[in-house]
């Protein structure tokens, strides 16, 4: 049985217009029947809830025995803040948050980091929005490792699109193998389909037989080899 928070998160994405179905083109040029645009989380109440869903996924996948939650600029900055606050609120654990600047300031504080500094022995969980090709982790890891003897533990995203990265495996599997990072998602697209297929939400069936066929066809082309 799918966890309650996952079911709620799927419906929350629909309510926020973050998860949409139709005809879209991804950044990598793939024609896709679904699209996840996290830019539609826009209000304080939405961010608070989003942080709580991330906190539950982090606690379930990594526990709370780590030091820093790192959100890569720019989208990861509010995610790291919201999730760190939610971890404190839900579990009473005080995790530091950290993000990077895209450009180093030339006056005052010259550092590349926002939030907490990182140093020797720190265990770090990286938080991102949606991973498709896994390219951003290539930029993020060197920044973290440049801070000292730091231990990146894992990566958490909101939605695992479950499609191929550079090779035949999923982007999250590639990250796991290439960088030794454990990966987790609040939900996978398989869970989204399972929850919404032929099941009315607010009076509408969002994934009917036609859309399910389009999603299946997409995964035949771009999905991972099982």
Length of the chain: 226
Which among 192, 195, 141 has a CA at the least distance from the CA of 35?
A: 192
Q: Which of 105, 110, 151, 169 is an active site residue?
A: 105
Please calculate the CA angle 161-217-155 and round it to the nearest 5 degrees.
10
Please tell me the distance from the alpha carbon of residue 44 to that of residue 53, in angstroms, as a whole number: 14
Find out whether 40 and 145 touch, Cβ atoms under 8 Å: no
Q: How far apart are the first and last CA of the chain?
A: 22
Q: What is the largest CA-CA distance in the chain?
A: 58
Q: Is 195 labeled as catalytic in the residue annotation?
A: no
The SS3 call for residue 201 is strand
Which among 62, 129, 54, 66 has a CA at the least distance from the CA of 90?
A: 54
Q: Is 212 labeled as catalytic in the residue annotation?
A: no
Q: Which of 107, 110, 151, 169 is an active site residue?
A: 107
Helix (H) or strand (E) run with residue 173 in it? helix 171-179
The catalytic residue positions are 105, 107
């Amino acid at each position: 049985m799918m966890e309650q928070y996952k079911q709620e998160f799927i419906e929350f994405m629909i309510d926020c217009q973050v998860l949409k179905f139709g005809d879209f083109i991804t950044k990598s040029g793939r024609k896709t029947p679904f699209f996840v645009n996290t830019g539609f989380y826009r209000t304080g109440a939405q961010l608070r809830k989003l942080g709580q869903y991330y906190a539950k996924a982090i606690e379930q996948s990594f526990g709370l025995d780590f030091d820093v939650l790192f959100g890569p600029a720019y989208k990861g900055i509010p995610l790291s803040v919201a999730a760190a606050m939610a971890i404190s609120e839900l579990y009473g654990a005080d995790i530091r948050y950290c993000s990077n600047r895209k450009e180093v300031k030339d006056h005052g504080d010259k550092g590349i980091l926002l939030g907490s500094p990182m140093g020797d022995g720190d265990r770090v969980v990286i938080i991102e929005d949606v991973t498709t090709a896994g390219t951003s982790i290539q930029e993020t890891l060197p920044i973290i490792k440049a801070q000292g003897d730091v231990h990146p533990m894992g990566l958490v995203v909101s939605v695992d699109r479950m499609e191929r990265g550079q090779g035949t495996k999923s982007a999250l599997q590639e990250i796991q193998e290439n960088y030794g990072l454990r990966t987790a998602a609040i939900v996978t697209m398989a869970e989204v389909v399972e929850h919404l297929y032929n099941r009315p939400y607010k009076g509408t069936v969002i994934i009917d037989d036609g859309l399910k066929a389009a999603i299946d066809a997409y995964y035949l082309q771009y999905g991972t080899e099982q």
